[in-house]
Amino acid sequence: MRDLSFLRLSLRGLQHHMILAKKVKTIRGVPQIGKTTNNHNPSGHIEFELLKSRFLATISHELRTPLHIIGGYLSLLLDGARGNIGEEECYCLNKAMDASRHMLKLVDDLLDLACFSAGVMEIKREAIDLKGFLNGLAQKWETLIKDHSLVLHKRISPSLPKIETDKNRLEKILNNLLDNAVKFTPQGKIVLSACSRGDAVEITVADTGIGISRKSRQIIFDAFRQVDASETRPYQGMGLGLALSEKLVRLLGGRIEIESEVGKGSAFRIILPREIQHAGKSPDC
């Protein structure tokens, strides 16, 4: 555990659940759950893992529900389902909707990180057409950045193989990297490229943004850390995107590399196996 106050909170909750579990098991006459993290009681260990998993799923559900309600009513107004609205109202509602979506992403990211910490991150393996997947992603981001002073180039090899991985997790990794590239590139270009590399595939998100110093590169994959953490920092955020991406890449059995030069830009390269052989265990954060 490093500097993760949120995780400490959630783990306190887990400890609470663990105590409850101990009591339940004692009442049932099986007082060994305190030793369940070793191999003396595998069924108790499974029960504890389930308990952690359920705890985090419940927190996720409870936090997401009110955000869903806020977003739902805003959508009704924006879609005109409750009558016509004017341009000014539409502007304000869109701002509220953006903030609501942003909040939902923060909640999802925090909960993903807590799941890593608890070791209950799930992977769904499926075969994906990487070329089609990346072209679709590039198309989505071309639309998203149309109001920025940026262009997105793609260099996707036509001979990319199908790979077996977790599509949703891969999409989240790349969305985080692209989001980061947009955030730290006031103007210029972003390049999404991909090619085969032996038994692996290599996907790179490069930008012509502010770049990262050698010293700062040591902390960029730490959760809740930003290169400039001062009160006057120019870039907002919790510092979760890269931390989560790095952990997700490891979970998919791959690794992430970075090249950067201050003032010139950065390139984040993901190397993923064509098939997940040994998925990385959820790191201990």
Comparison of 106 and 219: residue with beta carbon closer to another protein:
106
In the complex, the smallest distance separating the C-beta of residue 101 from another protein, rounded to whole angstroms, is 9
Q: Is 103 in the site for another protein (CB under 8 A)?
A: no
- For residue 80, the one-letter residue type is G
Residue 122 CA, distance from chain mean position: 13
Residue 279 phi, psi dihedral angles, 5° rounding: -60, 135
How far apart are the C-alpha atoms of 73 and 82, rounded to whole Å?
A: 10
Of 218, 234, 216, 4, residue with least CA distance to 109: 4
Comparison of 71 and 239: residue with beta carbon closer to another protein:
71
How far apart are the C-alpha atoms of 77 and 89, rounded to whole Å?
A: 9
Comparison of 1 and 81: residue with beta carbon closer to another protein:
81
Q: Is 81 in the site for another protein (CB under 8 A)?
A: yes
Q: Is 127 in the site for another protein (CB under 8 A)?
A: no
Contact by Cβ (8 Å): 234, 200: no
In the complex, the smallest distance separating the C-beta of residue 123 from another protein, rounded to whole angstroms, is 8
Q: Is 175 in the site for another protein (CB under 8 A)?
A: no
Comparison of 93 and 219: residue with beta carbon closer to another protein:
93
In the complex, the smallest distance separating the C-beta of residue 65 from another protein, rounded to whole angstroms, is 5
Our CA angle for 249, 251, 256, nearest 5°, is 25
Q: Is 171 in the site for another protein (CB under 8 A)?
A: yes
Token pair for 61: 């559900």
Q: Is 148 in the site for another protein (CB under 8 A)?
A: no
- Helix or strand run (H / E) with residue 10: helix 5-27
In the complex, the smallest distance separating the C-beta of residue 10 from another protein, rounded to whole angstroms, is 16
Q: Which residues bind another protein (CB under 8 A)?
A: 53, 57, 60-61, 64-65, 67-69, 71-73, 75-76, 79-82, 104, 108, 122, 124, 167-168, 171
